[in-house]
Chains A and B, each alone.
Chain A
Amino acid sequence: KAGVTQTPRYLIKTRGQQVTLSCSPISGHRSVSWYQQTPGQGLQFLFEYFSETQRNKGNFPGRFSGRQFSNSRSEMNVSTLELGDSALYLCASSSGTTSDTQYFGPGTRLTVL
């Protein structure tokens, strides 16, 4: 099976702009979770989508949003970018059942100038 794919892999934006990141889960997986990784805060959970519904949400401001499509692909949007949003954004997919393993994509490196 193909793994989790994320596009784009690298992105450079300026403050105030918005950005959309995309994640395609492993075939058959219905759950997609998003994480932000920075040197200072480490890996932090953003939100999870299951069957097109947000099921869990982390402690991030409303500028961070997401959605999931009927084919389980997911997008994450960050509006009004700030310098502190520079990070590696990771997407993970799983079947969504109890204690199921999450498999991560390669990440999107976002740099905000």
Chain B
Amino acid sequence: LAKTTQPISMDSYEGQEVNITCSHNNIATNDYITWYQQFPSQGPRFIIQGYKTKVTNEVASLFIPADRKSSTLSLPRVSLSDTAVYYCLMNSGNTPLVFGKGTRLSVIA
């Protein structure tokens, strides 16, 4: 099953930009890269999805280089409420989502 590698944890101060990098060396042609955010005891919340280059929405940006073997989730000006676990996944077709351990982001005042 498709797997990604991302840092286990990161710390940041409020107001800073946070970049979380995800490695997916075995990404397939049909795979999209999707990021979810999860707070304790809640369901994962979709953040952003992309295939290549750059995608931006109201909460984050996703940067994907040409070889697509990695991607970077960028959260601008984080606040305490952004403290959560962030998951990077590859998904294609109708295959089930495969979650790794995610990155635990702690935002400090």
Contacts and interface: CB of A to CB of B under 8 A. Distances in A.
A90 B94 contact: no
Interface of B: 30, 32, 34, 36, 41-46, 49, 87, 91-102
Given A48-B94, A56-B94, A107 B41 contact: yes
B30 A99 contact: yes
A91 to B, nearest CB: 8
Contact of A43 (B30, B32, B34, B44): B44
24 contacts: A4-B43, A31-B94, A33-B97, A35-B97, A35-B99, A42-B99, A42-B100, A43-B97, A43-B99, A44-B99, A45-B97, A48-B96, A55-B94, A56-B95, A56-B96, A58-B96, A98-B93, A98-B94, A99-B30, A99-B91, A102-B46, A104-B46, A107-B42, A107-B43
Interface string A55-91: 1101000000000000000000000000000001011
Contacts of B99: 35, 42-44
Given A58-B96, A102-B91, 11 more contacts: A33-B96, A35-B99, A43-B44, A43-B87, A43-B97, A43-B99, A48-B94, A90-B43, A92-B43, A99-B30, A104-B43
A44 B98 CA distance: 7
Contacts of A104: 36, 43-46
B96 A45 contact: yes
Interface in A7-47: 31, 33, 35, 42-45
